[in-house]
Amino acid sequence: MTGLECRKVSMKFGALAAVQMVSFSLNPGEILGMIGPNGAGKTTLLNCVIGIHKPTSGKIFLNQIDITGMKPHKICRMGLAKTSQIMEPFMAMTVFENVLVGALHGGRMRMRPATEQTEKVIELVGLKEYASKLSGSIPVPARRRLELARALASGANILLLDENMAGLNPHEIDEALEILKKIRNSGKSLIVIEHIMRVVMGISDRIIVLNYGSKIAEGFPEEVVNYETVIKAYLGDKLSSLKVA
Amino acid sequence: MNSRIDRIILVIFLGITAALAFLPNFVESEYLLRLITVVIFWIGIAGCWNMMSGYTGYIDFGPVVYFGIGSYVVAIAMTKYGIPFFPSLLLSGIMSSLVAFLVGIPTLRLRGAYFAIATFAFAEAMKQITLEFDRTFSVSFFQGSDGITLPISGHDNSFFFYCVLPVTFLVVLAHYFIEHSKFGYGLKAIKEAETAAEISGVNTTANKLGAYVSSAFFLGLFGAIEAYWITYITPSDVFNVQKTVQMVIMTLLGGMGTFLGPVVGATFLTLISEALGARFVEYYLIMIGGIIIVAILIMPNGIIGSLKIRKKFRFI
């Protein structure tokens, strides 16, 4: 089986267990939603996957190759790219150059094919009007798309989107969803961390729910939101009897 | 991307270098030739610093160490082993980059001020080692504070002009390629956001090390040339922190991380100290200090850096 697989991944920072024994898998062409309250360990889990943190225990496999503890740039070159929740564009570089870095280094391309790839990706995410602007000077929605473009340019087959739609208005969210569908149709798989339920419910094939670092539920979107444990995690004990979801 | 403007600048630069190559045939005054050589020398050295610190944002505060290693390698190779100048020169560059490689692996993990302190400490440590090595081990190798006298070359100023010119040419040309290459985009990405660069596939360690080692290689060459030129070296001269400071100031004045920054900064500072130094022997350092302060206040990104921002004009 190809795709991404996490086996009993735990990440401890001192005494704090940010992620505990989480296992999940991502099949090719699938969109996996990842939800959970703030501090549930979603970002930490993805950071373990792309090699920013080395998990305290557990194994991560990409296309059945063990990538646990590899350097992030190697993992990126193997086809696994993440967009960051905290936007970190290369400020003094233009939007085009930002994406170019992804293509040149992540995609291991030479200058000419990388330039072509960059043009294609910028077109796809709709950043053409900003291409020659400095990335520090563009508005937030464009920066979100820039993060996405940089990850896409590396040619990764699996994209991890960490709250890529935070701070967008409903109209912008619709546009972003269109882009994600295009990306999925091109044969890529995605893991989407998002707080906006409309996004997660609408786009995910499956959803996993984290709370206090542990996976508390997994299933189809409509199943998951009715699980007792999930409602409890989001609304607390008192309100869970109301079954709002 | 204004790659056309960049290409025009490159052509102008190649033209100027070609014209300079004929200069010694026309310049009568030895003083003028020496002054021009010094300017070119500093353009090259400031360029070495810019190659590393300007592009990666890692402030190296001990580049002089590779300059000093270059000086000592050439001196020892020539006096102790009787190797002629040019092979020794190459050996200096190789030794400097080898040391940079070994030192770079641990120090380039440090960020910000810690990297600056580590490189500064290493430069000072090398000075002390060359000073005390012979006394400690009862040998005669570095010759401590006595220094080493190199064989008198008997070459005139134009010889050193032709030594310095090609090396500086290579340094500036290397900048041009860094600006337009995969390697350069990697370095600039590291400067802006290192973690983001790493997860975008940039091998940050290898790229930083590459910049550090190439900068050290050229510094080693310059150190060797200066040693042969001056013919007498001591640890406190060749490892002098003032050289580091001068590289930093020249680059900052011209514009960090730009192709023309070190060229403009080094020319400006060398010529102005020469002009003022001749006329106001006692006060010229104060005046230069004032000029630097004013320049940095008006143009915080350096001469070229500020031009780039104000004109919204993107060129190298």
What is B57-98 written as a DSSP string?
A: ----S-THHHHHHHHHHHHHHHHHS---HHHHHHHHHHHHHH
Chain B residue numbers touching A82 (CB-CB < 8 A): 199
Residues B17, B169: contact at Cβ < 8 Å? yes
**Dist CA B316 CA B306 (whole Å):** 12
* Residue carrying structure tokens 């564009």: A89
Residue B312 in contact with partner chain A when CB distance is under 8 A: no
Interface test with B, best of A94, A95, A98, A104 (most B CBs within 10 A): A104
The pLDDT value recorded for residue B69 is 97
What is the C-alpha separation between B201 and A106, in angstroms, rounded?
4
* A233: DSSP letter: H
A95/B1: higher pLDDT: A95
* Residue of A88, A93, A105, A117 to mutate for B, most B C-beta atoms under 10 A: A105
* Contact between chains at B198 and A73 (C-beta distance less than 8 A): yes
What pLDDT, on a 0 to 100 scale, did the predictor assign at position A241? 59
Report B:200-219 residues touching A (Cβ under 8 A): 200-204
Contacts of B81 (CB under 8 A, 6+ apart): none
- pLDDT tens column, B180-193: 899 999 999 999 99
Kindly tell me the sign of the dihedral angle through the C-alpha atoms of A165, A170, A176, A178.
positive
Q: What does the domain layout of chain B look like in residue ranges?
A: 3-310
Whole-angstrom distance, CA of residue A194 vs CA of residue B65? 51
pLDDT of residue B127: 95
Nearest to B175 by CA among B189, B163, B164, B188: B188
> Rounded CA gap, B222 and B242, in Å?
16
- pLDDT for the residue numbered B125: 95
Using a CB-CB distance cutoff of 8 angstroms, which residues of chain A are in contact with residue B1?
94, 96-97, 132
Q: Which two tokens stand for residue B30?
A: 């030895």
Structure tokens of A47?
């950071």
Of A88, A96, A105, the CB nearest to B193: A88
- The one-letter code for the residue type at B229 is W
Cβ separation of A90 and B196 shorter than 8 Å?
A: yes
A63/chain B closest Cα distance in angstroms = 18
Q: Identify which of A56, A64, A51, A61 has the alpha carbon closest to the alpha carbon of residue A12.
A: A56
Nearest of B288, B298, B245, B264 to residue B59 by alpha carbon:
B245
Q: Is the pLDDT of residue B106 over 90?
A: yes
Question: What does DSSP assign to residue A23?
Answer: E
Please give the angle made by the CA atoms of A225, A226 and A232, to the nearest 5 degrees. 85
Query: For chain A, how many residues are written?
Result: 245
Dist CA B242 CA B246 (whole Å): 6
What pLDDT does A232 receive? 83
Residue B313: pLDDT over 70:
no
For residue B145, what pLDDT band results from cuts at 50, 70 and 90?
A: confident
Fold adopted by B3-310: ABC transporter involved in vitamin B12 uptake, BtuC (1.10.3470)
Mark yes or no for CB contact B200/A105 under 8 Å.
yes
Cα separation, A81 vs A155, whole angstroms: 9
Tell me the HSE value of B266 on the side-chain side, using a 13 A CA sphere.
Answer: 29
Tokens of A199: 């996004």
Answer whether residue B17 shows pLDDT above 50: yes
A81:B192 CB<8 A: no
Share of chain B above pLDDT 90, in %: 73
Answer whether residue B166 shows pLDDT above 90: yes
Of the candidates A32, A36, A25, A41, the residue with the CA atom closest to the CA atom of residue A233:
A36
Residue A51: closest C-alpha in chain B: B199
pLDDT of residue A239: 61
Chain B positions touching A90 (Cβ under 8 A) are 188-189, 192-193, 196-197
Instruction: Find residues 160-189 of chain B whose CB sits inside 8 Å of chain A.
Output: 180-182, 185-186, 188-189
* Nearest Cα residue in chain A from B195: A52
Q: Each residue's pLDDT tens digit in chain A (245 positions)?
A: 568 999 999 999 999 999 999 999 999 989 999 999 888 999 999 999 999 999 999 999 999 999 998 999 999 999 999 998 888 899 989 999 999 999 999 999 999 999 999 999 999 999 999 999 999 889 988 999 999 999 999 999 999 999 988 888 999 999 999 999 999 999 899 999 988 888 888 899 999 999 999 999 999 998 888 888 888 887 776 665 555 44
B201–A108 CB contact, under 8 Å? yes
Contact present, A7 and A23 (Cβ < 8 Å): yes
How would you class B29 by CB atoms within 10 Å of its CB: exposed for 0-12, middle for 13-18, buried for 19 or more?
A: exposed
Distance of CA A79 to the CA centre of its chain: 13
Which of B213, B200, B280, B169 has the alpha carbon at shortest distance from B60? B213
Band of the pLDDT at B1, cuts 50, 70, 90? very low
Are A81 and A151 a contacting pair, CB within 8 Å? yes
Count of CB atoms situated within 10 Å of the CB of B205: 16
| Interface touch A101/B197, C-beta < 8 Å | yes
Nearest CA in chain B to A115: B182
Report chain B residues whose CB lies below 8 A from the CB of A84. Answer: 196, 199
Q: Tell whether the model's pLDDT for residue B262 goes beyond 90.
A: yes
Structure tokens at B274: 């020469």
Q: Where are the alpha helices (DSSP H) in chain A?
A: 42-49, 72-77, 95-101, 111-125, 140-153, 170-185, 197-203, 221-224, 228-240
| B191/A105 Cβ within 8 A | no
CATH topology of domain A1-68+158-165+187-245: Rossmann fold (3.40.50)
Residue B51 has pLDDT above 70, yes or no: yes
Domain ranges of chain A: 1-68+158-165+187-245, 80-156
Range scoring the smallest mean pLDDT among A136-145, B58-67, B207-216: A136-145
The Cβ of residue A16 has, within 10 Å, a number of other Cβ atoms equal to 9
The amino acid at B54: G
Q: B216-246: per-residue pLDDT in tens?
A: 999 999 999 999 999 999 999 999 999 999 9
Burial class (CB in 10 A: 0-12, 13-18, 19+), B311: exposed
